[in-house]
Amino acid sequence: MRLRIDLAYDGTDFSGWASQPGLRTVQETVQEALGTALRTDPVPVTCAGRTDSGVHARGQVLHVDVDEAVLASSAGRSPVAPTDALVRRLNGILPADVAVRAVAPVPAAFDARFSALWRRYAYRVSDSPATLDPLAVRHVLRWSRPLDVPLMARAAETLQGRHDFAAFCKAREGATTIRTLEHFTWARDEAGLAVAHVRADAFCHSMVRALVGCLLAVGEGRRPVEWPAAVLAAGERTSHVAVAHAHGLVLEEVAYPADADLGARNERTRARRRADEVAGHACPDIEPDTQPDEGPADSEHEGDRG
């Protein structure tokens, strides 16, 4: 049977999502915990989007295939449903910086990656002494200069839509950088933090943090409001766009269609990816990124990361 797992984690002490030899990763930690809970070998999982080293998640989604009899046996004499018993067992096994929020059976067509309609990230910035909070230091970027958030919001609007985001992505040979940025806003939250909300069908490597870095330059007055659109139009990665630190970024939510529409969504996603790869931006003259947060560059996960 196929299960959906809703997962949250603090990414500070992880080398990203993807399993890497000799490094502590979220994927490896979850797979080993599943193996322990089900009394099997580590159980492979598929995620909605690979997060990089230091990036957090409140709304990560996984799918995993398990033997129904094994799941039932793992619950033992628990009076609750086997999926609820699995939640309890996993949270008793996992370290404190990872939490399973829910486990539920889903149709076989559910795919955590290909079924997703969109992914939403948030990036939080403290730009005044009044908003500094030592308890949030692992999750909020401290910025020493005040930001003009309405100006940043205006600039963000110019980047929305379906574009080639090569200027905001780490290039991969043969990989497309075409994305649909459905929603990009900046606003103050109740605590006074400057918060970016970024929603897209998918993201390429470092895209959200590059977008944030670009808008921070506008917010502090170093660049005009028209600059981000000009960067996008240039279509090339430039050193003038700084990639914001990872720790301010959180994967907040992933949306999926109704069960009856899962198969059609999977096909549409795959078809669009294939079309994008044909028409997309490829940079064979740029070496693939080899930072330790990357993990293997495989087509199964490429294109859904923040």
Burial call 175-189: b when 16+ CB within 10 Å, e when fewer: bbbbbbbbebebeee
| Residues in CB range of 237: below 8 A, 6 or more apart | 166, 167, 168, 169, 170, 171, 286
CB atoms under 10 Å from CB of 223, counted, come to 19
Of 6, 52, 111, 127, the catalytic one is 52
Structure tokens at 64: 């995993």
Report the distance separating Cα 72 and Cα 179, nearest Å.
Answer: 41
Report the distance separating Cα 217 and Cα 24, nearest Å.
Answer: 33
Q: Are 195 and 127 in contact (CB under 8 A)?
A: no
Rounded to the nearest 10 degrees, the angle between the axes of helix 227-234 and helix 149-157 is 30
The continuous run of DSSP H or E covering 254 comes out as strand 249-255
**Strand, coil or helix: what is 44?**
coil
Residues 277, 280, 283, 284, CA torsion sign: positive
Q: Are 49 and 58 in contact (CB under 8 A)?
A: no
Structure tokens at 136: 């949030």
> What does the chain come to in residues?
306
100 forms beta bridges with 7
Active site residue 13: no
The pairing of strands 56-65 and 249-255 is: parallel
* CA-closest candidate to residue 119, choices 183, 42, 196, 44: 183
Residues with a known catalytic role: 52
